Amino acid sequence: MAETDSESDNYKLTISSKGDALYETSSVGTGGIAWYSDYSYMPKVDNPWFRRGGNYNHSTVSGPFYFTISSGGALNYSGFRAVLTVGEGL
C-alpha cells in the first residue's frame, strides 16, 4: 500500500506490477471505468481485498474486468475469482 493509503496512490503502485489485470485494463482506481465499461475501485487498508467481476445488481458496470474493494467477508450477491499475485523480482 502507498504511504498515504488512498485509492489513487495505491492504484499508481500497480504501474510497476503488471500481470494482475489492474493497470492493464483500467485507467484509474478511484471509481473509474475499466475495459468494456466495467467498474474499477482500488482497495486500501480498511478494505484490503479485491472483489472481482461485480455483483448481480450492478447491471452494466459488472463484468470480467470489474474490481472493487472488500473487507473479505462473505457476500450473497457477489461472485468469486481466484487471482494470483507475483512478488518482486519475478
pTM confidence score: 0.65
Q: What is the pLDDT of residues 11-40, one digit of tens each?
A: 888 777 777 777 778 877 777 778 888 888
Q: CB atoms < 10 A from the CB of 34, how many?
A: 23
Q: Measured between alpha carbons, how far is 50 from 11 in angstroms, rounded to an integer?
A: 12
pLDDT in tens, 70-82: 888 877 776 566 6
